[in-house]
Amino acid sequence: MLSAAGVCLLLDTGGPGLPRVRHFGAALGAAGAEDADLAPVLASLAAAPPLLPAQGDGWYGRPGLAGSRDGEHWPVRWSLDRVDADARPGAGGTATIAASDARAGLALVSELGMDAGGLVTLRHTITNTAASPYRLASLECALPVPARAAELLDFTGRWALEKVPQRRAFGHGVWSRESRRGRTGHDATGLLVAGTPGFGFRAGEVWAVHAGWSGDHVHHAERVPEGVALLAAGELPEPGEIVLRQGESYRTPVVYFTWSGDGLDTASARLHEHLRAARPLPVRPVTLNNWEATYFDHGLDRLLELADRAAAAGIERFVLDDGWFRHRRHDRAGLGDWYVDEGVWPGGLHPLAEHVRKHGMQFGLWFEPEMVNPDSDLARAHPDWVLGHAGRLPPPQRNQQTLDLARPEVYAYLLERIDALVTEYELDYIKWDHNRDIAEPVHDGVPGVHAQTLATYRLLDELRARHPALEIESCSSGGARVDHGILARTDRVWTSDSNDALDRQSIQRWTGLLVPPERMGAHVGAPRDHVTGRSLPLAFRAGTALFGHMGVEWDLTSASEAELEELAEWIALHKRLRPVLHAGRVVHADHPDPSALLHGVVTPERAVYGYVQLASRTESAPAPLRLPGLDPAARYEVRVAGPAPAAAAMPGWTAGPVRLPGAVLAELGLPAPALRPASVLVIEVARA
């Protein structure tokens, strides 16, 4: 039995086959796996599936393993070889399970873990022990959920509108979310959640699964008439993509499972805490990206003025986006030619980099290493480097093709070019983009997404090894590569190509289930958004960006002095609140008004909340603001934060801050102001 932070996972290792998962959910108190009084209860759960469900185990749903050989076929019936467990009661632990089937010619190792925060990880390794090749069709990680998990939540989306929630009943059959885009995808669910009917952020029991993989993948939920249901996820290989010769192995991505007895916030917090513990980050600098400010116009004088304005506003990092390399005057040429364009930058990037650093700012650069324009020196010199069949190019998207990173010469070229530029310009930061889905990928005559994804991981890992202080952002035409596989190797994700703060409220809300705020890029865009064309006030744009890794994507040379002063105030506020925003637990109120949101970040001593009015209210009076996540026994001082007009006094606050117990703030709440649509109020809370 593995247990931590109120979570318990109970394995029955009685054999002879793989261990069966008897329970995944709430801690079982003083009961243990060897508790004699627990035995009859476990016996009644005979339908519980093993770690890798198969028909030989009485499971007639989707199999955990599927594959074939040329010639004789033997269904797999695992014999348990050994279980190595390191259970640390109350602090999690690990279990490694080894099994084999000599007739089927396969061996299996399953690695199960629970961290101190109660997050469960699972991955399988399968090895072919027979002389004939084994063609792996699928190998997924699954855990059961109980009958009361009767509702499903997943997410879809598109470019510039990611993570759109959708709910449905969890009935009999399979609900499968599959991505074959070669990257995670704008429409990728991220999390597949099962829960008790009507679950919310603060109420209801929920179970969720996430595949930490940046290529083709699947998440699915299944319920069978025998009374068993499960959540599963894994890689989604194409036929013939993974063929194991004798002695060869395939290892699944890490699949994450999280549980909560009190809504989505706790399930999400387990994922956040795991990521933070695995790779702690330094202070997140406020970033300016020049893309929406200048696009392909890389006139030095204009960029220097932009850097001056950025520094005056308190920005800490300047990132030069697309357009700095050879032949790149538009998006139809140059990708792959990773040399500074001598015609645009006769002195290289040094004049800009030195100017930026004189202001005390860091300097970063945009790349799209995995892609190539057919109109480029690279493609003309090496047409065989394109990921595709030698006799036919894949269909183009965005005037570009994908490079085959699994080819050693392609990998070596990209590593040399990026490493040389990072070294020459002492780059602090890379924005690593990936702007198209991968179509018809062929590597060495077989489907190529698996090899491409692993090669991308190796390239990122090698750059980090050579430049340990280098920070890398995963951008994929916005949020099309957001998963814990890429986050294990990067420092943040670009949440969406839309900086429209109204859309961003929803995008950040749901992306934030998987990604903590400090890893979620959130920028203040221009007054008129370049994607939606919507015009929104600066207070709303800045108040939205405040709750992520804050940045700016706006031509500050066109801003008025009043706008620059207000932006500087918002940036100063973010810096002051950053220790809370980037370290605390994210919370959301299940606010009764659908036209408004109330969310925050809470630490033991402080909290910051955002009350957001999205649209006009139906009710004449706004609902009270019940602040979640505070210690009910503590007393807090509450005040409005942020520049005017966002800091307009709330009813009853004109005399200054209020002091109330956490229980009152959570249950009765605060009187809410009557905000206009597209408004945000920032509320700061501290122990009194």
Residues serving a catalytic function are: 433, 497
The string of DSSP letters for 402-457 reads EB-TTSHHHHHHHHHHHHHHHHHHT-SEEEE---S---S-EETTEE-HHHHHHHHH
d(CA 307, CA 216): 40
**Residue 235 and residue 216 in contact, taking contact as beta carbons nearer than 8 Å:** yes
Beta bridge partner(s), residue 317: 287, 362
E-strand ranges in 283-394 read: 287-289, 317-320, 362-367, 371-372
d(CA 143, CA 51): 7
Q: How many Cα atoms occupy the beta-carbon half-sphere of 654 within 13 Å? A: 2
d(CA 151, CA 229): 12
**Residue 375 and residue 327 in contact, taking contact as beta carbons nearer than 8 Å:** yes
Closest CA to 258 of 199, 301, 184, 207: 207
Beta bridge partner(s), residue 228: 224
d(CA 475, CA 160): 12
E-strand ranges in 261-338 read: 287-289, 317-320
Q: Report the C-alpha dihedral over residues 311, 315, 316, 317, rounded to 10 degrees.
A: -90
The string of DSSP letters for 570-588 reads HHHHHHHHHHHHTTSEEEE
Amino acid in the structure at residue 504: R
Amino acid in the structure at residue 565: E
How many residues would you count in the chain?
Answer: 688
Tell me the CA end-to-end span of the chain in Å, nearest whole number. 41
d(CA 588, CA 596): 12
Instruction: Tell me how far CA of residue 454 lies from CA of 116, 350, 466, 485, 660, in angstroms.
Output: 29, 34, 18, 10, 53
**Residues whose CB falls within 8 Å of the CB of residue 559, separated by 6 or more in sequence, listed in order:** 309, 567
**Both tokens assigned to 510:** 């749901």
The string of DSSP letters for 449-515 reads HHHHHHHHHHHHHHHHHH-TT-EEEE-BTTBSS-SHHHHTT-SEEE--S---HHHHHHHHHHHTTTS
Degrees (nearest 5) of the Cα angle 484, 19, 88? 65
**Residue 456 and residue 411 in contact, taking contact as beta carbons nearer than 8 Å:** no
